[in-house]
């Protein structure tokens, strides 16, 4: 049985300001895309033969985002493993292998990053079938992308001798990202493929090679897995053990050392969408070479990616630029410098800026909230609660709140009393009181929250009851 392992960690800093730590690129539905990259990765598994429900590995902070997106595409059978911290792909694959082999000793893992775009699904399926046959023979298979240009942003795989009647090659070597001249030589030789970061191997074969080439990691992953806890189909990885695990990629930890590495060529319109120029390249553009989404007006503009989210964006006399507007940030970058957006993110991180982590509109398992105004001593939020959903029963040490209903029907718990509120009705929640908001209507509940206090951080919450498993007491 093939077990798809979807690696849904990562931040996607080069796609800031749309990609944030709490809403990274794999969960975003970009312009002209019908689904998020994560959802598209899952949907392309349809029609593959002998495939088990997917195993998703993600950051614990993204649990509800992941399950919501799974439900949105009609997937009800799945397993989610929650990482308390990132340790790169090799430990994640090890935990997936331990989980899969527990129920099926012959399980074959199809390891896929959640943020890749593949245009030709049939070609992907054909390559996966070849890789499955090779994995059944004990090989550790990586997918090598047939290069379309001398790209310097990817690592390369040098093909070795061909494995007769299998459609694969032995891996002669893995090569770091080359300079432009070297990349051109690689393309001209016909012996090199782009390193995709996608793999297929038997769970037991991968674990065996990990024990040989990265013993400390293997031992740590086995110890960690023994301490995992499960609640229905959600598996929590203990931080105390996993934080001590060495961090490394599948390539560095295993594939560059094993004698069992095999590469299967893949020519399927692959793109890892690593930066804004990649989104522009795959997009359907207008006659001037522009992709414009949102409220955009252009004059004498050519070969630009312009995205408006919160306001009208107008451009005049522009060429080869990326302009991305969000509720709380604006990016303007030369098309050939978008790889360096990560440098801006690093600057913001060093300054402790919230714009790298949290978008203005934040998703929660019960709905969303967005900050409308933040000032010393007070904050105003717009909060949406889905029908039938409720916030946790909670209290705050540093702030009082005032709620005003602008849409829908609400039931508010305040200490020992409940209050049903309609549109244009309000309630005051004094400092230290226990309170909860519930949507008791059939439509979306929207209310305005005014916070007043000496500290307004999201961590000033003590939860007493929570239907989403977040209660602390």
Instruction: Report the alpha-carbon distance of residue 234 to residue 470 in Å, rounded.
Output: 14
- Mean of pLDDT values over 175-204: 96
- Mean of pLDDT values over 326-330: 93
Question: In terms of domains, do 265 and 284 share one?
Answer: no
Give backbone dihedrals phi and psi of 172, rounded to 5 degrees, phi first. Answer: -80, -40
Q: Could you tell me which of 200, 45, 51, 227 has the C-alpha nearest to residue 132?
A: 200
Instruction: Report the alpha-carbon distance of residue 457 to residue 434 in Å, rounded.
Output: 18
**Residue at 186 is within a domain:** yes
Compute CA distances 192 → 86, 141, 424, 465, whole Å. 30, 16, 66, 56
**Residue at 230 is within a domain:** yes
Question: In terms of domains, do 319 and 175 share one?
Answer: no
What pLDDT digit, counting tens, does each position of 339-395 carry? 999 999 999 999 999 899 888 888 888 999 998 998 999 999 999 999 999 999 999
Question: In terms of domains, do 280 and 248 share one?
Answer: no
* 471 pLDDT above the threshold of 80: no
Question: In terms of domains, do 243 and 102 share one?
Answer: yes
What pLDDT digit, counting tens, does each position of 434-464 carry? 999 999 999 999 999 999 999 998 889 999 9
Question: In terms of domains, do 394 and 413 share one?
Answer: yes
What pLDDT digit, counting tens, does each position of 403-414 carry? 999 999 999 999
Task: Give yes or no for a cis peptide into 347 (omega within 30° of 0).
Answer: no
Question: In terms of domains, do 234 and 89 share one?
Answer: yes
Question: In terms of domains, do 266 and 286 share one?
Answer: no
**Which of 248, 271, 294 is the C-terminal boundary of a domain?**
271
Kindly calculate the radius of gyration of the chain based on its CA atoms and give it in whole angstroms.
25
Question: In terms of domains, do 326 and 387 share one?
Answer: no
**Which of 271, 288, 303 is the C-terminal boundary of a domain?**
271
**Residue at 66 is within a domain:** yes
At residue 263, the 3 state secondary structure works out as strand
User: Minimum mean pLDDT among 11-15, 53-57, 247-251, 259-263: which range?
Assistant: 11-15
Per the structure, how many domains does the chain have? 3
Locate 194 and state its tokens. Answer: 């782009």
- Confidence band for 33, pLDDT divided at 50, 70 and 90: confident
For residue 168, what is the enclosing H or E element? strand 168-175
Question: In terms of domains, do 108 and 214 share one?
Answer: yes
Q: Could you tell me which of 76, 458, 404 has the C-alpha nearest to residue 232?
A: 76
Look at residue 350 in the predicted model and tell me its pLDDT. Answer: 96
* 320 pLDDT above the threshold of 60: yes
**Residue at 161 is within a domain:** yes
Phi-psi map region of 3: left, alpha, beta (phi>0 left; psi -120 to 50 alpha)? beta
**Which of 346, 372, 394 is the C-terminal boundary of a domain?**
346
Instruction: Report the alpha-carbon distance of residue 102 to residue 82 in Å, rounded.
Output: 18
**Residue at 356 is within a domain:** no
Q: Could you tell me which of 443, 448, 360 has the C-alpha nearest to residue 403?
A: 448
- Mean of pLDDT values over 83-107: 96
Instruction: Report the alpha-carbon distance of residue 366 to residue 354 in Å, rounded.
Output: 22
Give the helix, strand, coil percentages of the chain, each rounded to 5. Answer: 25, 35, 40
Locate 358 and state its tokens. Answer: 């949290």
Which domain CATH number covers 450? 2.60.120.10
When the pLDDT of each residue in the chain is averaged and rounded to a whole number, the result is 95
**Residue at 124 is within a domain:** yes
* Sequence-ordered list of residues with C-beta below 8 angstroms from that of 82, at least 6 positions apart, any chain: 58, 59, 60, 63, 234, 235, 236, 237
Which domain CATH number covers 262? 3.90.550.10
Look at residue 472 in the predicted model and tell me its pLDDT. Answer: 60
* Sequence-ordered list of residues with C-beta below 8 angstroms from that of 282, at least 6 positions apart, any chain: 117, 119, 271, 273
Determine the number of helices (DSSP H) and then strands (DSSP E) in the chain. Answer: 11, 30
What pLDDT digit, counting tens, does each position of 47-62 carry? 898 999 999 999 999 9
Which residue range forms the structural domain that includes residue 123? 2-271
Question: In terms of domains, do 98 and 162 share one?
Answer: yes
Question: In terms of domains, do 442 and 342 share one?
Answer: no
**Residue at 53 is within a domain:** yes
**Residue at 6 is within a domain:** yes
Question: In terms of domains, do 301 and 450 share one?
Answer: no
């Amino acid at each position: 049985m093939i077990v798809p392992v979807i690696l849904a960690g990562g931040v996607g800093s080069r796609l800031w300001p749309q990609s944030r730590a709490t809403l990274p690129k794999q969960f975003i539905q970009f312009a002209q895309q019908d689904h998020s990259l994560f959802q598209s990765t899952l949907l392309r598994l349809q029609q593959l033969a002998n495939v088990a429900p997917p195993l998703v590995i993600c950051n614990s902070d993204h649990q509800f985002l992941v399950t919501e997106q799974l439900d949105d595409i009609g997937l009800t059978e799945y397993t989610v493993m929650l990482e308390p911290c990132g340790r790169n792909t090799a430990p994640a694959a090890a935990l997936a292998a331990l989980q899969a082999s527990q129920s099926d000793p012959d399980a074959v893992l199809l390891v896929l990053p959640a943020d890749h775009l593949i245009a030709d699904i049939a070609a992907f399926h054909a390559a996966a079938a070849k890789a499955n046959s090779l994995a059944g023979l004990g090989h550790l298979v990586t997918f090598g992308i047939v290069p379309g240009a001398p790209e310097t942003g990817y690592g390369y795989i040098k093909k070795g001798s061909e494995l007769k009647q299998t459609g694969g090659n032995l891996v002669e070597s893995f090569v770091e990202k080359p300079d432009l001249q070297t990349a051109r030589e690689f393309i001209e030789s016909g012996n090199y493929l782009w390193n995709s970061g996608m793999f297929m191997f038997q769970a037991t074969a991968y674990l065996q090679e990990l024990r040989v080439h990265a013993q400390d990691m293997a031992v740590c992953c086995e110890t960690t897995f023994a301490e995992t806890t499960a609640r229905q189909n959600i598996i929590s990885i203990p931080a105390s053990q996993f934080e001590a695990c060495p961090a490394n990629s599948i390539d560095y930890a295993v594939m560059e050392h094993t004698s069992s590495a095999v590469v299967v060529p893949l020519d399927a319109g692959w793109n890892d969408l690593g930066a804004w120029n990649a989104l522009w390249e795959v997009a359907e553009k207008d006659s001037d070479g522009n992709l414009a989404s949102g409220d955009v007006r252009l004059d004498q503009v050519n070969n630009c990616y312009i995205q408006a989210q919160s306001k009208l964006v107008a451009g005049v006399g522009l060429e080869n630029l990326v302009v991305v507007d969000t509720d709380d940030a604006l990016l303007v970058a030369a098309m050939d410098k978008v790889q360096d957006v990560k440098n801006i993110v690093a600057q913001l991180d060093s300054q402790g800026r919230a714009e790298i982590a949290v978008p203005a509109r934040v998703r929660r398992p019960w709905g969303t909230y967005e900050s409308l105004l933040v000032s010393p001593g007070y904050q105003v939020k717009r909060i949406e609660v889905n029908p039938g959903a409720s916030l946790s029963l909670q209290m705050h040490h540093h702030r009082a709140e005032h709620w005003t209903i602008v849409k829908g029907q609400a039931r508010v718990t305040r200490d020992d009393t409940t209050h049903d509120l309609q549109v244009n009705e309000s309630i005051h929640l004094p400092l230290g009181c226990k309170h909860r908001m519930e949507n008791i209507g059939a439509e979306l509940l929207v209310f305005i929250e005014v916070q007043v206090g000496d500290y307004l951080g999201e961590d000033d919450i003590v939860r007493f009851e929570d239907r989403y498993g977040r209660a602390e007491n």
